[in-house]
Chains A and B, each alone.
Chain A
Amino acid sequence: MLSSLFNSSSQKFSPGIKAALLNVLALAVFLLLWQMLAMWVASPFFPPVDGVFKAFKNLLVKGDTQGISLGTHAWASLYRVLLGFNLGVFLGVPLGLLMGLNKSLYNSTRSVMEPFRFIPPIAWIPLAIILFAGDTRFAFLIFLGAFFPVYTSTLVGVQRVEPLHKKVVAVYGASKFYTLMHVVVPTVLPDILGGMRVAMGAAWLTIVAAELAGGINEGLGRMMLNYAELLKIPEIIVGMIVIGAIGFVLNELLLMAERYLFKWRWQVTL
């Protein structure tokens, strides 16, 4: 009976809508289990779902202890992330292309570029605190986190360019610029988008750490730390959930861009 129900629903809905419904269901099950577990444990260190929701509503409407609303905190963090992320993409892609196309330049500057990759953005925080203030500091740190995934995946993607595809346009007398824009970039674009998604993850990792290190009153990381000092767990969890949700939405947006840009890869074969 259950299977017949499932079958009829699979005929009624498109695969996309079905997946969305199943995700809503999974989320509901998760929240239900959380609520049950919290009620069973009954500890102030394990807040129930409704407690977290109440904290969420309060933060959204009334704001935190200083009257700064959740929206302001979230926007502050998102703004810094987007600033640093865009900077990382705008510098990472051209530099990755340049290094990928100039093997000798890449090989001769490896010892300068590569070690930077292994300095985590968090390790830059002390220096950034001294050198920069406000959004510039955060944008700088996020740029460091976002740059390398984009740069490295672009660099790797360039190696994927087929010599035959270059030859196809060379025979018609294509200029270097034409080859770059019409052969190299289309080949590398999927790698760039993949690198951007990794960079987005790195950017959120960095922003929370940077905000925890302090300096400014707005930002989700700052908000969470303030409530940690007050031992208020629901508000901390609200901060975590908002970070996760914004990251999820940004990732989905990038995935949508991928699906749109790479129709030539995604469409089903005849």
Chain B
Amino acid sequence: MTNLNPKLQVGISHQYGNLVVHGDIQFAVKENEFLCICGPSGCGKTTLLDILSGLLKPSKGDVLLDGEMVNPKKHSISFVFQEPSTLPWLTVWENIATGLKIKKLKKAEIKQKVEEVIRIVGLGGFEDFYPHQISGGMKQRVSIARAFATNADLILMDEPFVSLDQPTRERMQQEVLDIWKNLKRTIVFVTHNLEEAVFLGDRVIILSEKPTSIKADLPIDLPRPRDPLSIEFTELRARCFSFLHQK
């Protein structure tokens, strides 16, 4: 294991016209690390993920994935969006296969990978359903399955559970951790929910308001499964909270 070269190396600043969105943002993510990014609403979290995915060019600086400029055509990147992003004209199976098909994998390989990830996320039996026939939580599970089906170098998640009810949300958080442990991927997970960040992440980055900069970069060295009611957890959450609200 070489920790000298990080999986993802970010050093960017970004602005729309005169509006400075990101001041100077620098961080790195190790291979198979689960990084959570937390910040107040309107601090440009989604824009940051767009930049990390290579879909949006930052005004200055660049994003390096495996030492190369990030590029969706070259790298394998997955994105789980905040809104339900299943394609309504495709079945659950076809939705999950989308990334694999674009990456032009062989049919047999696609079949094997889709079946594997369907089993892991527990969507067995729903392969031929259309998105409008399943619940919101299941739709998000399809999006997550689609993200994990490809051999993604980087998985970006943009508040994927924000529209789910609390019990579903808690279950899905645990599921994402299980899948991540199973399949080993590098994840950048954006949320405005500190508890979610501390529960999931190996590390939490706290962002400021615009112009956005990094206020804190905290390792979360609690063993998993984490108990949100334990003293250590509560203390870490409180630390994150104070950073978030510090002027």
Chain A residues engaging chain B, CB cutoff 8 angstroms: 164-165, 167-174, 178, 183, 186-187, 262-265, 267, 269-270
Contacts and interface: CB of A to CB of B under 8 A. Distances in A.
Given A171-B77, A172-B98, A173-B73, 20 more contacts: A165-B87, A167-B55, A168-B81, A168-B87, A171-B55, A171-B72, A171-B78, A171-B79, A172-B72, A172-B99, A172-B103, A173-B71, A173-B74, A186-B87, A263-B130, A264-B89, A264-B130, A264-B131, A264-B132, A269-B133
B142 to A, nearest CB: 11
A183 B95 CA distance: 12
Contacts of A164: 81, 83, 85
A203 to B, nearest CB: 28
Q: Which secondary structure dominates where chain B touches chain A? A: loop
B4 interface: no
B134 interface: yes
> Which interface residue of B53, B79, B102, B150 has the most chain A CB atoms within 10 A?
B102
Interface string B78-106: 11010101011111000000110011000
Contacts of B79: 167-168, 171
A4 B165 CA distance: 46
Contacts of B72: 170-173
A168 B98 contact: yes
B24 to A, nearest CB: 26
Contacts of A174: 102
Contacts of A262: 89
Contacts of B150: 172
Interface residues of B, number: 29
A260 to B, nearest CB: 13
Interface string B112-151: 0000000000000000011111100000000000000010
> Which interface residue of B76, B77, B99, B150 has the most chain A CB atoms within 10 A?
B99
Nearest to A168: B85
Contacts of A264: 88-91, 130-132
Contacts of B73: 173
Q: Which 10 A-B pairs have the closest CB atoms?
A: A173-B73, A173-B72, A172-B102, A186-B89, A264-B130, A171-B79, A172-B99, A264-B89, A174-B102, A270-B133
20 contacts: A164-B85, A165-B87, A168-B79, A168-B81, A168-B85, A171-B72, A171-B78, A171-B79, A171-B99, A172-B72, A172-B98, A172-B102, A172-B103, A173-B71, A174-B102, A186-B87, A264-B88, A269-B132, A269-B133, A270-B133
A207 to B, nearest CB: 34
Contacts of A172: 72, 76-78, 98-99, 102-103, 150
A222 B130 CA distance: 49
Interface of B: 53, 55, 71-74, 76-79, 81, 83, 85, 87-91, 98-99, 102-103, 129-134, 150
Contact of A267 (B74, B81, B99, B133): B133
Nearest to B156: A171
A235 B134 CA distance: 55
A170 B130 contact: no
A187 B129 CA distance: 18
Contacts of B130: 263-264, 267
Given A171-B72, A270-B133, A165 B85 contact: yes
Nearest to B55: A170
A270 B55 CA distance: 36
Contacts of A263: 130
A262 B76 CA distance: 31
B91 to A, nearest CB: 8
Nearest to A170: B55
A270 B135 CA distance: 9
A202 to B, nearest CB: 28
A189 to B, nearest CB: 8
Contacts of A267: 130, 132-133
A183 B87 contact: yes
B88 A178 contact: no
Contact of A171 (B53, B87, B91, B132): B53
A2 B74 CA distance: 71
A234 B103 CA distance: 65
A178 B102 contact: yes
A169 B103 CA distance: 10
Contacts of A167: 55, 79, 81, 85
B133 A173 contact: no
A167 B46 CA distance: 13
Contacts of A178: 102
Nearest to B132: A269
B139 to A, nearest CB: 13
